[in-house]
Each structure stands twice: as structure tokens, then as C-alpha cells.
Amino acid sequence: MSAQAKVGLFVILSAILLIGAIYYVGNEQWGRHTIPYRTYLRYAGGVEPGSTVLFGGIEVGRVSAVRAWSEDPTKIEIALEVREGTPVNANCTAKLGTVSLMSSPAISITTGTNDAARLKAGAVIPSQETVSIDDMARKLSGIADTAQGLITQVQGEIKGLSDRSNTLLANLNDATGPVNRQQIAEILRNTNTMIAQQSPKIDRITSQVLVATQDADAAIKKVSPLLDHADTTVMNVNSTIDQIRDPLRQDLIQMQSTMDQAKSLLASIQAVVRGNDDNIHETIENLRVATENLAQFSGDVKQRPWSLVRIRQSKDRKVPTLGGASGGQRSPSGLASSTR
């Protein structure tokens, strides 16, 4: 192969590689699809078109525009271009952030939650304000202004504590003087003597407590079967009560039903009595009249028993005269006989 052919082949290969590199770079930079979003911040220090957009700390897009919001001049409108497929959801929050201390400002978006709805193209991402450097400087200046007074106050309190500490040390020195040390030594000697004297008694009491503990263990072992039997008895009683409970409940239900029926019957009787009250009074009055007539009839029968046999009552007999038709006189005996 000639040198010209080699040079021509090299030029062709170089052109192919250059075209491939241009295609790859263009596809990486301009071929990817992005989704627009918006967010609003009160402070967007250093953010400008082309600033990085982070989602959970990874780069997913760029800032396309930064301008004052016409509807609310107190807020800055920031337009974002986020790579397609980024799961921006309704619980995400956009705020001002940086990748590192030396890097330029960026818009950082939190990951939100998995169950939240995904935001559509052009939607507004909720924002969260961050403390600006000016605010931090103002707060630090206020802290520095109040620090001097705080230091003066602390110095006064430290001086008071120092005076109290000196007083406490003086009191401790008085308390640990020779006289007090001698008294403390005497107290310790008396304590040692008392312990030496009471040690046998303490040992005896300990032995008695140990014996009592052993007896208690034995008693517990003896009582344990009784407790088991008691548990069994209680279980049997519970089962018996459970068996009796339902029949008793049914009997009580039937008794209640009977009482309800009796109440309804008494109510019916009362209604009947109220409805026939006049008839009952009339019947009682007739019975009273009949009773009076019967009493009168009984009295008549007692006085004139013949009235039960005779229809008409016989006339009363006339009393005979003393003189007869013949003009003679009758004796008193004859009068008595005639009346008889």
C-alpha cells in the first residue's frame, strides 16, 4: 500500500472518530429529555441560569431562569430543567444548597415520600427557606453584643462562688480541727467496740433467720399440693357455675315472661272492672234489697208461721159475753174453757 493510500485511510478513520465523538457528546448534552418545574424562594443568593439542580444530593438538571416574581415581588421565581425520570413528588421540598463549601450555590430538592403523587411538568415544587449569610451575620452580631454583658454577669457570679468556696473551706478547716478529729476517733473506737460486742448476737440472729427460712421453704413445699388442689377445686366450681348459669338464665327469662303476662292479665281485669263498675254497683244494690226482703220474710215467718200453709189468715175469734141466749150465767170455769 502506498503512502498516499495510508494517509487517506488515516484521514477517513479520524473523520469517523470525530463524527462519533460529536454525536456522543451532543446526545449526552442535548439529546436527553428534561421536564420543567418551578419553585419560589425569598432568598436565592448566587443562583443563576446554569446552576446545578440536585435531587437527594445527585445532579439531575440545571437552572434555566432566575427572575423576580411579578405576582409577589418578595419572592424569586426559579425555573428548573430536571432530567426525565426523576421522581419529583408532592412531598419534595426545594431549597438553596451547595455540594461543598467551595462550590457555587445550587437548588437542592429533597426526595419526599414514595406514596406521594408525582408532579407534572410545569408544576411548582414546594420551597423551604434557608438562613442566608446576611442573617447569620446579623445573628452573630447580636450574640457578640450580648456576650459582653453575659461575660460581666458570669464574672460577678464566679466571684460570689469564689467567696462562698472560701467560706466553705474555712468551715471545713474548723470541722477538721484537732478537737473534732479527736471526737471522731473516739466515736470510731466506740463503734468498733459495739460491733465486737454485738457480733455474736448478730451471728445468732442470722442463724435463726436461716433456720426460719428453711422451715418456711418446707412449709411452702407442704402447702404447694394444697394450693394445687385448691386450684382444681376452683376450676371445678367455675365449670359448675358455667353449667348452671344458662338454665338459671332461662328460668329467669321464663319467670319474667310469666310476670309480664300476669301484669297484662291484671291490667285486663282492671279494665273490665272499670268498664262494668256501674253494673257491679247495681248488682250489689239488688243483693242488698234482696237481703233486706229475705230478712223481713224471715221475721214474718217467725211471727206467723201459718202463713206458709194458709193462703188467707183466719179472722180473730170474738170474745163471748157473760150472759147466754137463755139468760143464765156461766161460771168462770166455763169462760176459761170457751176461750181455750
Write the DSSP assignment of 45-94 as a string of letters: TT--TT-EEEETTEEEEEEEEEEE-SS-TTSEEEEEEEETT---BTT--E
What mean pLDDT value characterizes the chain?
79
39 assigned to some structural domain? yes
What length is written for the chain?
340
Q: Are the beta carbons of 118 and 88 closer than 8 angstroms?
A: yes
When pLDDT is cut at 50, 70 and 90, the band that residue 258 belongs to is: confident
Non-local (6+) Cβ contacts of 119 within 8 A are: 37, 88, 89, 90, 92, 125
158 assigned to some structural domain? no
Model confidence pLDDT, tens digit, residues 224-238: 777 777 778 878 877
70 assigned to some structural domain? yes
59 assigned to some structural domain? yes
Non-local (6+) Cβ contacts of 7 within 8 A are: none
Q: What are phi and psi of 131, to 5 degrees?
A: -75, 125
Q: CA dihedral defined by 108, 110, 116, 119, rounded to 10 degrees?
A: 10
CA distance 184 to 75: 78
245 assigned to some structural domain? no
Residue 116's domain comprises: 31-130
Task: Count CB neighbours of 75 within 10 A.
Answer: 16
Domain count, the chain: 1
CA distance 207 to 129: 76
Task: Count CB neighbours of 90 within 10 A.
Answer: 14
110 assigned to some structural domain? yes
Q: Are the beta carbons of 98 and 52 closer than 8 angstroms?
A: no
112 assigned to some structural domain? yes
Q: Which residues pair with 40 in a beta bridge?
A: 77
When pLDDT is cut at 50, 70 and 90, the band that residue 133 belongs to is: low
Most trustworthy range by pLDDT among 162-176, 251-265, 322-336 = 251-265
When pLDDT is cut at 50, 70 and 90, the band that residue 65 belongs to is: very high
What is the pLDDT at residue 336?
A: 39
Q: Are strands 52-55 and 94-98 parallel, antiparallel or unpaired?
A: unpaired
Cite the DSSP H helix spans in the chain. Answer: 3-30, 133-175, 178-275, 277-303, 332-339
pTM, rounded to two decimals: 0.36
Q: What are phi and psi of 68, to 5 degrees?
A: -70, 140
What is the pLDDT at residue 325?
A: 44
When pLDDT is cut at 50, 70 and 90, the band that residue 311 belongs to is: low
221 assigned to some structural domain? no
196 is written with which cell numbers?
465486737
